[in-house]
Structures are given as C-alpha cells and as structure tokens.
Amino acid sequence: MDRTSIETYGTSMVRPDDFDAFWDDVLAQADRIPLNASVERVALRSTPDVDVYEVHYDSLDGVRIAGWYCLPVDRQEKLPAILHVPGYIGEPALPKGWARAGYAAFGAAPRGKLRSNAQFNPGYPGLLAHNIVDRNTYSYRGFYIDAVRAFDFLQSREEVDAERTGVTGSSQGGGLTLVVAGLRRGVRAAAAGAPYLCGFMDAIELTHTYPYQEIRDYLRLYPDREAAVRETLSYFDGIHFGLRISCPIIVNIGLQDNVCPPETGFAAFNAIASEDKTLYSYDGYGHDAGSAKHGAVVETFFKTHLNP
C-alpha cells in the first residue's frame, strides 16, 4: 500500500450513537468509588535523587490496582505530573527518568498487570478477547477505567499541580493515552506512540501478528459472533475517543509497523478533535515508531506544555 493510501485508509469501525452516553455512565460509576489510595515508600527502589512509592487504589468491580509513583527528592513547589500507561505485554514502567526531569510520575498497572492481577488475570494472550461480546463486562471496560483512575490519583496529590498533568505511552500505552485524554478533560497534554486499540476489525485484516490475532483466533472458534464482537469493540475503539480530545497532543507511528498498522494510526490521528495536534510518521521504522528519534520530541513537548 502506498503512502497516500495509508494516510487516507480510514476505518470500517462505526462510532455508536450512544458512545458518549455509555462512557459517561461508566465514568459516573467509577467516580462513586473512593480511590482509597495507599502510598508506601520503597527504600530498595528509591535513590538519592528520586523517591519511589508503591501505590494501590480501588477501581471498577472492586479490583485493587497498583502502580509505581516517583517523585524528585528535591522539590519545593507543586510539580507538573506525567502518567505513563503500559503496553500490552510489558509490565508497568518505573518512571524515574521523568521524576529526575522534575515531574511527579506515575507508572500505571491496570488489571492483569503485575501486582494488579490477584483478582483479574486473563493472561497474554487472553486480555483482548476476554468477554468480547458484552460491552458491560468486556475486559477493557475495567482496564480503561484503571488508567483513568491512575490519572485521578495524580490529580489528588498535594504535591501535584492539577493544571499541569500529561499522559503518555506507546502501543497499548498509545491507545490508553487516547482513552485517558478523551475521558478526562483535566489532561493538559498527551503523547501517544504507535497507538494500539484503534481500528480493531481493520487491524485484523491489515496485520497477522499478535495481539490483534487474538480476535481472529476467537472468531475462528465462534464465527457466528462476528457482529457481536464488532459491536462491542466499537465502544472501545481508540479512534472513537478522538472527538472527545481537546488538549494538545502528538502522535508518532512507524510506517512499517506490523503490530499496530500505520493505517489505523493515521485514522486515529485524523479523528482527534483538538486544534493543537501533530503527527510524526517515521519511514523505515516498525513498532518502535521511531522512538530513538522521537524521545526528544516527547520531552520537549511536555516541557513546553507542562513547564517543569
């Protein structure tokens, strides 16, 4: 497929008429749950310049969620904050680098991830297809809210300037970045890399790699459920959160990505409503989405919008 075709591919996924109503209701349910956050300093992981804390908080379905919270030791005023959301297989980041740069930084571990898997653990593969025919019990309903609640945790902290909180991640973290930016108006800036969870049913035709092939595996077993699968996923497609995003945002993709097809990355970017958005496409790069070059872009972007 040539460059023009990739950029204009679009998506076969249709945004449901009640998409916003569905998520507003889920958010309302979550907002009624106290965070009940516990924060414990971990001496073994802390360093002379960064304090590291293990955090737990409550989320949907009574699931207790974990995360790593990092703060610069030398802090005098309220800090800007960065939420780092994880990829599909990798475990949550310990974001000391962001703390050293002057941010309060949180590495979220949504349900199923290490230290958040005692009550819910469908495995990898497994998460993507868990209860995939029911939007009210589909795995990502809770998973998305776990990430949103991580943002809420940062907003609740005395040492954090709630007006200067950003979110970032790549792959699944890129998709979660779109979700959190779409569900929480308080996000000041967002940087999404190689966004997964976008154009689900297009992606299974464009690539034959996992995790998307979990959907194809499921439909191979239950071909009669394809319509139900498509309907459920329409409520969770990262592209459909774009209309709710108003903050400054950057997106980076690799034009040779065979995990998260670049076609779906362009579609996700094009759907974003923010008037301050920039796409970085890296030719010759795959699922890393040009991270070696793009890391400095992300650092500058947050420095500009969050002013550490």
- Tell me the HSE value of 16 on the side-chain side, using a 13 A CA sphere: 16
Classified as helix, coil or strand, 6 is helix
Question: Which residues does residue 57 pair with via DSSP β-bridges, in sequence order?
Answer: 65
- Cα 212 to its chain centre, rounded Å, is 16
The catalytic site residues sit at: 171, 257, 287
Note whether 263 and 281 are within 8 A (CB): no
Picking from 32, 162, 176, the residue whose alpha carbon sits closest to that of residue 90 is: 176
Task: Round to whole Å and give the CA distance between 60 and 194.
Answer: 27
How far, in Å, CA of 162 to CA of 155, rounded?
Answer: 5
